[in-house]
Amino acid sequence: MINGEQGGVIHAMDRAVMYGDGVFRTMCMRQGQVKCWPQQYRKLNADCQALDILCPAQHILEQELRQLALDEPDCVVKIIVSRGEGGRGYGVPASVSPNRVVLSSPAPQHPIRFWHEGVKLHVCEIRMSHQPRLAGIKHLNRLENVLARMEWDDASIPEGLLLDADGWVVEGTMSNIFMRVGQKLITPDLSTCGVAGLQRDRILKYAPTLGLTAEISHFTLPTLLQAEEIFVCNSVIGVWPVRQIGAASIAPGPVAAQMQRILESAID
C-alpha cells in the first residue's frame, strides 16, 4: 500500500530509490493489532525528524494499518517513509512531499528452539562505520547490514554480530544485543553507529523490574564472551538467548526468558 493506495507504485525518482533517503520500521501485527504501535509511531516520527523528513500523521498510518489488518491480521508490517520525489541531484526540492509505504509479509518461521535453547551468532567481518549524524536512526542506508548478512549462508545461524571499526560490539544485523554481568544488563552505546530499536528501549526500561541495573556502554567481543548471559532482541523475534558466538559457547541464563515474557505482556 503506497500513500494509501493498494498496489500503488513507487516512482523511480523517489529519493528512497535514488539515495536511501528515508526511514522505516518493522513491526508485528497480531489479530489485527500492531504491537506497541504508539511507541513505534513515536520512533518513526523521531527518526523522520532527525533527517528533517515530514512524518505522515499517526491517524493516516493507523487507517492504513486497519485496512491491512482486514486481509492480513497476523503478519510482519513494514512502514517506509521516504522524503519524497525528485530534486536536482542531492538537493531537496522546496515542495517535496513524503511518500509512505505500508507492506505486509508473513511472519518468518524460525525453529521454536531459537527462543528456548538460544541461537548461534556469526561474527561478521565487516565493521560498522562511525556516523554520529545517522547513528541510532532506522534509515534506509542499510548496505552494511546487507553485506554483513551475505557473509554466511547457514540456516542454523539466524543472526550475525556486528562490531565497529574500533572493535566495539554494536548490535546484530537485525537486532540489538544485551549482556548480563552480575546484576547489570548492558547494551552497546549507539551514539556513533547502529540502530536503537524499540525493544532495546523497552528492555532498558523494564530491566529494573527484574532487579537489574540497565547500562549503556562500549564493550569489546572478548568482554562480551565473558558475560553471564547474552541475548538479542527485535520487534519481530522478541528475545532470543544467545548460546554461541563464533566458536565460543555462552552459558544460558534466566533473564532472556524473563524478558521474553515481559516484552510479550507489558503494556508500556
In the complex, the residues that contact a copy of itself under the rule CB under 8 A are 2, 9-21, 24, 51-52, 78, 80, 82-83, 88-92, 101, 103, 108, 126, 129-131, 133-134, 139-150, 165, 173-174
**Active-site residue identified among 64, 85, 138, 187:** 138
Q: Is 26 a catalytic residue?
A: yes
Q: Is 164 helix (H, G, I), strand (E, B) or coil?
A: strand
Picking from 114, 236, 247, 259, the residue whose alpha carbon sits closest to that of residue 179 is 259
Nearer to a copy of itself among residue 16 and residue 44 (C-beta): 16
Q: Is 64 a catalytic residue?
A: no
Nearer to a copy of itself among residue 143 and residue 267 (C-beta): 143
Nearer to a copy of itself among residue 76 and residue 210 (C-beta): 76
Show the cell assigned to 3: 500513500
Q: Provide the 8-state DSSP code for 134.
A: T
Least distance (Å) between residue 60 CB and a copy of itself: 17
146 CB contacts (<8 Å, ≥6 apart)?
A: none
Q: Is 192 a catalytic residue?
A: no
**Active-site residue identified among 26, 173, 187, 192:** 26
From residue 67, give the alpha-carbon distance in Å to each of 34, 61, 64, 229.
Answer: 12, 10, 5, 41
Nearer to a copy of itself among residue 5 and residue 211 (C-beta): 5
The DSSP code sequence of 155-220 is TT--EEEEEETTSBEEEESSSEEEEEETTEEEEE--SSSSB--HHHHHHHHHGGGGT-EEEEE--B
Least distance (Å) between residue 54 CB and a copy of itself: 14
Nearer to a copy of itself among residue 154 and residue 211 (C-beta): 154
Show the cell assigned to 124: 561478521
Q: Give the amino acid at 185.
A: L
Letter string b/e over residues 106-126, b meaning 16 or more CB atoms within 10 A of that residue's CB? eeeeeeeebbeebbbbbbbeb
Least distance (Å) between residue 66 CB and a copy of itself: 19
Least distance (Å) between residue 127 CB and a copy of itself: 8
Q: How far apart are CA 50 and CA 81, in angstroms?
A: 13
**Active-site residue identified among 85, 159, 171, 229:** 171
Q: Please give the positions annotated as active site.
A: 26, 138, 171
